[in-house]
Amino acid sequence: MKKENDEITNLFRSRLNDVEVPVRDGFWEELNQGLATCHHRRLMFFRLTAAASVLLVLAASSAAFWYFSPKEDLEEAFTQIAVANGGTLDGDVVKQVTQPVQHAPILPKKMSRQLAAYTPAVKEDNDSVSVTVSMSFSFSVNSTVRQHNNPMNHVANEAWQNKESVQQTGTSVEQESTRAVLTESARSRSWALKMALGSSLPAGKYQMPVLGQLTVERQLTKHLAIESGLRYSYIDGGQKGLHYIGIPLQMNVTLAKTNKMNLYALVGGVADKCIAGAANNNFKNEPIQLAVMGGVGVGYKLNDKVALFAEPTVVHHFRTDSKQETVRTERPTNVNLICGVRMTY
């Protein structure tokens, strides 16, 4: 049987010697990936086994320590500590018993106890011996005891407490009055009067307009204010000038503020009406001209009530049915610069 197996083995060796079998594409990559996965799993298994072994050893050692620990000795030690500190042991809880502390009377520094003249005098005679002993004590009465026993001290203490309460009440009243004054001052300074002059950029043959306005500003919140008033405008109309009266309305939003400087953004509009200079100033020939504006403003405080300000803005004027040609018809969107004085009251 063994001989036949050897013959079969030799036959296969002779037939399959130097035989090459083609391998499909990606075979070696898949083999390497499979080997890496197998190695990773084996490594994770070893790590989990080591962690479980460590946890098992810790649990066994903790159980052995708890089982073989001297519980009676520990309980006796805790009982002695609790009793030494003035408490009692109730199961696993130490109850502290607090006893009232009796303070010894504090004696003044002048108190002295003199033990003097304790000098035995011995006289030797032939028949007798005499011994002389003299002792003297001096005490000073505790002033604290007198204070507790004297009813006038209670009156003095009550008077002192009443004095402190009166002082605290006076301080609180002063604080409230100061706060009320500051609130009234801030409330009274929520209004401001603004006077300003300004101009716009010229366009073509037209000269620069002249603007003058008087407005009142009302502070609504800490960062928001509304402003309105009257504006006068002189505009070059070619051969003659035109005079306008307008009502501006704008809202100011504070962006940044310091002790001296104030930066704010403004947005609003203005309605202008020609009152002089045109051939016919009625509403049909010279209707109301509306405009919108937006820009920024900066203010500089000279003192608590007076400040200087400048407001560069971009203004767009809407066209009307007026036949008069002005800088506003030549350039509807223009840049204005207004500077003036702001007074709070």
Residue at token pair 């803005």: 313
**Rounded Cα distance, 233 and 316, in Å:** 15
What are residue 264's DSSP bridge partners?
254, 297
Q: What is the pLDDT of residue 303?
A: 93
Q: List the domain boundaries for the chain.
A: 35-96, 191-344
pLDDT one-digit tens code per residue, 309-335: 999 999 999 999 888 888 898 899 999
Identify residue 170 by its one-letter amino acid code: G
Q: What is the pLDDT of residue 285?
A: 87
- For residue 106, what is the DSSP state? P
Fold exhibited by the domain 191-344:
Porin (2.40.160)
Q: What is the pLDDT of residue 84?
A: 67
Q: Could you tell me where the DSSP H helices lie in the chain?
A: 2-15, 27-68, 71-84, 143-149, 151-188, 327-330
Q: Which of 246, 247, 245 lies closest to 275 in space, CA to CA?
A: 245
Q: How many residues does the chain have?
A: 345
Buried b (16+ CB within 10 A) or exposed e, 16-42: eeeeeeeeeeeeeeeeeeeeeeeeeee
DSSP per residue, 279-299: S--STTTSPPEEEEEEEEEEE
Identify residue 108 by its one-letter amino acid code: P
Are the beta carbons of 243 and 275 closer than 8 angstroms?
Answer: yes
291 CB-contact burial (10 Å; exposed 0-12 / middle 13-18 / buried 19+) = buried
Q: What share of the chain is helix, strand, coil (3-state, %, to 5)?
A: 35, 35, 30
Handedness of CA 148, 153, 154, 160 (dihedral sign): negative
- For residue 309, what is the DSSP state? E
**Rounded Cα distance, 340 and 111, in Å:** 82
Q: Mean pLDDT of successive 10-residue segments in the chain (345 residues)? A: 76 72 74 76 81 82 70 68 61 52 50 46 46 47 44 55 60 65 58 95 87 96 95 88 95 95 96 90 90 97 95 94 87 94 93
Are the beta carbons of 270 and 231 closer than 8 angstroms?
Answer: yes
Are the beta carbons of 211 and 199 closer than 8 angstroms?
Answer: yes
Q: 33: which 2 tokens?
A: 């990936």
Q: What is the pLDDT of residue 57?
A: 79
**Rounded Cα distance, 343 and 303, in Å:** 10
pLDDT one-digit tens code per residue, 172-220: 666 666 666 555 555 557 899 999 999 998 887 888 999 999 999 999 9
